[in-house]
Structure formats: structure tokens, C-alpha cells
């Protein structure tokens, strides 16, 4: 296979080793604190592949490694970026990945897992959650599942315990009300809904938990590819709702992770 010809030399070309040595010497001589050294490490350079600049130190700054957005990239490019990251980080995530991208990555990283419903690639899915707060993923209808599944896989990869609650939209509200305990027990709730986008407002009126609303592009003509749901969520009268972009399950998972990380940090 042609993808095996990729040279996975993990040397970071732009890394100034003398600056790193000087930093370590200053730390050893107690001229700088451990926190100060970590702050400087967060600004270390990247690896330039020509078609991509890989940021190996994003996890130091943002809490999770650089995520590969696979759509629009050639399969060989996805494979090289993803597998270089996998050589450095325990967990690597790729989103919006098609079958061709998965096959290309698998040639270089046989351990990669593919989640077709979510269109996600994961190398090193955590065996145990890093956070105690559960993220509840709620979908209004079965048609919203691709976005909800993306949110679920991404949230798990980022270290969250995840529970799912699917097909509980406002057309049959009793289905949601049967799970009020789950709403109260979650730390963060992600709600994916298309059509008029009413479900996050309903959920927000039933719980004091932060609600992340994800409008989906599901709906008939005047839904305008999810714009109607987006505007409905932005105009919700329920308080405590944040809204991400249309079909952005990944963004919702990243925000839920940031909330969980803050909960852990400030509870210690």
C-alpha cells in the first residue's frame, strides 16, 4: 500500500534544543519554578510537514491533543498527521472521517478504532474516565444521531464518562420526562436537535445543569439546513443554555470537557 512509504520520523524539526536545554538548566538551578517552566513549554514550536503544521504541545495549553479534522484532506495526509500525533500522545482523535481516511490511517496505525456512525477515528480510547462528572448526550430524533454520536465518541475520547439518551424529542415529551433523574445526575448535558430546535429549551427548564445545545441540519425546506434550529436555540427562554455551531458535536464535547475540567480543578 502506498501509505506505508510515509516516513514517521517523530523529530520535531522546529524545536530549538538549546532553548529547551537552557530552560531545564534554569529549572535545575531553581531560577524558575516548575509552573514557570510548564508555562514556557506551552509555547514550544510545531512540526512543519509542508501541508500541515502539527502542534504537539496543544495538550499542555488546552488539555487535549490537536484533533484532526479529516474532511477536505487527502487520505494520505490524514494518515500522516494522525499517526505522527499517535506517536506522541496516548489518545488521538480524528473527526469527520470517511472510510477511505480510516483505511489509510489503519495502514500506519493498526490500533486505530473507527466509529462510522460518528465518523470519528480514535487511537487509544481511554479505558477509565479522567473526570467524575457524567456527560449526558440527548438527541431529539433518530435523524440527529450522527451528530449525537459524534459528541458521544469525542466526549469519551476526551476522558468523560458518557451516558446517551436518544429519540426523546418534543413531539413525544413523555419520553424525556421518564428520564428526569438522568438529567439531574449529569454534570453537563449536550442536546442535539433539528427541525425547530426546541428540545434544549425544554431540557434547560427541567434542570440546573449546564446545557450545550447543538442544532442539526435535519429538517424540511425552511429549516434552512439547521439555521432555524440554531436561531430557535439562541432565542430560548430557558436560562443556562450555550449553543454551538450547526452539526458541531465535536465542539459540544470539547465545551463539556472544559466544564468538567474546571469542576475538577476548582473542587480540589
* 9-25 pLDDT per residue, tens: 544 433 455 666 788 88
pTM of the model: 0.84
Residues 151, 57 within the same domain: no
Number of domains in the chain: 2
> Of 220, 197, 212, 222, which Cα lies nearest the Cα of 244?
212
Residues 114, 143 within the same domain: no
Contacts of 103 (CB under 8 A, 6+ apart): 75
Residues 154, 237 within the same domain: yes
pLDDT by residue for the chain (268 residues), tens digit each? 344 444 555 444 334 556 667 888 888 888 888 888 877 776 566 777 888 888 877 877 888 888 999 999 999 999 999 998 998 888 999 999 999 999 999 999 999 999 999 999 999 999 999 899 999 999 999 999 999 999 999 999 999 999 999 999 998 989 999 999 999 999 999 999 999 999 999 999 999 999 999 999 999 999 999 999 999 999 998 988 999 999 999 999 999 999 999 888 777 6
**Would you say residue 222 lies in a domain?**
yes
User: How far from 72 is each of 24, 43, 75, CA to CA, in Å?
Assistant: 40, 28, 9
Give the structural domain span for 236. 135-267
Residues 190, 250 within the same domain: yes
Burial degree of 168 (CB within 10 A; 0-12, 13-18, 19+): buried
Residues 256, 141 within the same domain: yes
Which of 204-232 are b and which e, b meaning 16 or more Cβ less than 10 Å from the residue's Cβ? bebbebbbbbbbbbbbeeebebbebbbeb
pLDDT tens column, 93-143: 999 999 999 999 999 999 999 999 999 999 999 999 989 999 999 999 999
Residues 108, 205 within the same domain: no
Amino acid at each position: 500500500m502506498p501509505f506505508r512509504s510515509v516516513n514517521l520520523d517523530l523529530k520535531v524539526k522546529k524545536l530549538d534544543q538549546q532553548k529547551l536545554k537552557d530552560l531545564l538548566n534554569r529549572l535545575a538551578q531553581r531560577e524558575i519554578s516548575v509552573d514557570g517552566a510548564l508555562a514556557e513549554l506551552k509555547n514550544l514550536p510545531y512540526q512543519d510537514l509542508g501541508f500541515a503544521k502539527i502542534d504537539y504541545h496543544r495538550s499542555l495549553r488546552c488539555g487535549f491533543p490537536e484533533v484532526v479534522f479529516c474532511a477536505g484532506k487527502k487520505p494520505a495526509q490524514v494518515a500522516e498527521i494522525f499517526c505522527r500525533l499517535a506517536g506522541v500522545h496516548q489518545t488521538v482523535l480524528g473527526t469527520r472521517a470517511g472510510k477511505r481516511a480510516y483505511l489509510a490511517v489503519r495502514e500506519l496505525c493498526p490500533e486505530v478504532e473507527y466509529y462510522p456512525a460518528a465518523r470519528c477515528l480514535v487511537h487509544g480510547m481511554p479505558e477509565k474516565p479522567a473526570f467524575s462528572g457524567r456527560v449526558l448526550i440527548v438527541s431529539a430524533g433518530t435523524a440527529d444521531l450522527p451528530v449525537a454520536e459524534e459528541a458521544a465518541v469525542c466526549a469519551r475520547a476526551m476522558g468523560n464518562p458518557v451516558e446517551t439518551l436518544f429519540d426523546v424529542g418534543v413531539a413525544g415529551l413523555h419520553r424525556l420526562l421518564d428520564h428526569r433523574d438522568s438529567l439531574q445526575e449529569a454534570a453537563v448535558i449536550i442536546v442535539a436537535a433539528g427541525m425547530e430546535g426546541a428540545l434544549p429549551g425544554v431540557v434547560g427548564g427541567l434542570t440546573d445543569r449546564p446545557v450545550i445545545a447543538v442544532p442539526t441540519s435535519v429538517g424540511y425546506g425552511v429549516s434552512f439546513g439547521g439555521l432555524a434550529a440554531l436561531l430557535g436555540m439562541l432565542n430560548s427562554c430557558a436560562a443556562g443554555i450555550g449553543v454551538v455551531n450547526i452539526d458541531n458535536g465535536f465542539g459540544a464535547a470539547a465545551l463539556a470537557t472544559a466544564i468538567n475540567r474546571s469542576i475538577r480543578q476548582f473542587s480540589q
